[in-house]
């Protein structure tokens, strides 16, 4: 049975323990960041090759209250990962869907991928996740800490979370837990929902509409409606353009 994260954002305090633990486990150095001038305590401003995870901050003025919505953003390990289509079309085996865990993994060989193919991977991702280090060519994102998971451990972000926001386990168990929490949270927050439940292996429970957390908290409209055939047709056109230059 595949694994799944359950991220209960109603419990998140934005301590960023998950974000830091991820960086430490991956051995990533700190980013040069700027706290002042863009009106947010979020840091860094976006995902980047040294941050597989970013806790997004969004201050919202709602009808009867002000809400500070926190959203630990990361790869959703999609059930049918659309970022894999262009990669496979270019060369099979660069992006792997691990059968045992369901993790979507970018291999080191992705670094040789042409710019156009990477751009297609990014365009096809409903959540704007993959990032590339322009100096080294490395393409990366969350790998589910798959080496830990295969040893029976949980991903580092889950291990570090002190509030119960980050959960990880068998898919059925996480779906059950998410639904149980949704039932409780809905009593106070009628708009509460689990985002894109069927399509992803990272289930987010949010108290308000997903777009009040971040613009791609939920999948871009229509992205899961693109059939594989349509996707390949689009890519074929683009590859032809690419190889003409
Ligand atoms: S969230 Fe994006 S990068 Fe992650 S598996 Fe899905 S399509 Fe690929
Ligand atoms: S460690 Fe937990 S509480 Fe802290 S920011 Fe991450 S998900 Fe939120």
Tokens read off for 204:
């987010």
Alpha helices in the chain (DSSP H): 17-26, 84-90, 115-124, 146-149, 156-160, 171-188, 228-244
The atom of ligand 1 lying closest to the CA of 82 is 7
Q: Ligand nearest 57 Cα, by number?
A: 2
For ligand 2, residues with CB inside 6 Å are 12-18, 55, 72, 160-161, 163, 165-166
Residue of 6, 7, 9, 14 with the most ligand 2 atoms within 8 Å of its CB, for mutation: 14
Sequential pLDDT tens for the chain (245 residues) = 699 999 999 999 999 999 999 999 999 998 887 776 777 889 999 999 999 999 999 999 887 888 999 999 999 999 999 999 999 999 999 999 999 999 999 999 999 999 999 999 999 999 999 999 999 999 999 999 999 999 999 999 999 999 999 999 999 999 999 999 999 999 999 999 999 999 999 999 999 999 999 999 999 766 766 655 566 666 665 544 433 32
**Strand ranges in 162-220 using DSSP code E only, listed in sequence order:** 166-170, 193-194, 202-206
How many A from CA of 83 to the centre of ligand 1?
Answer: 6
Q: Ligand nearest 195 Cα, by number?
A: 1
R_g over Cα of the chain: 18
Q: In 3-state terms, what secondary structure has residue 106?
A: strand
């Amino acid at each position: 049975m595949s694994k799944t994260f359950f991220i209960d954002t109603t419990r998140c305090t934005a301590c960023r323990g998950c974000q830091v633990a991820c960086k430490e486990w991956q051995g990533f150095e700190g980013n040069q960041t700027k706290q002042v001038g863009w009106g947010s305590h979020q840091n860094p401003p976006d995902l980047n090759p040294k941050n597989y995870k970013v806790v997004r901050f969004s201050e919202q003025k709602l009808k009867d209250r002000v809400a500070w919505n926190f959203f630990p953003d990361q790869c959703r390990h999609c059930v049918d990962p659309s970022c894999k289509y262009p990669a496979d079309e270019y060369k099979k085996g660069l992006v792997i869907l691990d059968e045992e865990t369901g993790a979507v993994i970018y291999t080191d060989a992705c670094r040789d991928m042409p710019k156009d193919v990477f751009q297609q991977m990014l365009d096809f991702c409903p959540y704007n996740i993959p990032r590339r280090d322009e100096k080294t060519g490395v393409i990366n994102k969350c790998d589910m800490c798959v080496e830990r998971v295969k040893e029976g451990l949980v991903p580092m972000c889950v291990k570090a979370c002190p509030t119960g926001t980050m959960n990880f386990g068998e898919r059925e168990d996480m779906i059950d837990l998410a639904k149980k929490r949704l039932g409780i949270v809905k009593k106070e927050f009628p708009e509460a929902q689990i985002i894109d439940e069927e399509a992803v292996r990272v289930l987010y429970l949010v108290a308000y509409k997903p777009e009040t957390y971040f613009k791609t908290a939920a999948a871009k409209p229509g992205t899961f409606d693109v059939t594989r055939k349509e996707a390949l047709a689009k890519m074929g056109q683009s590859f032809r353009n690419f190889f003409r230059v």
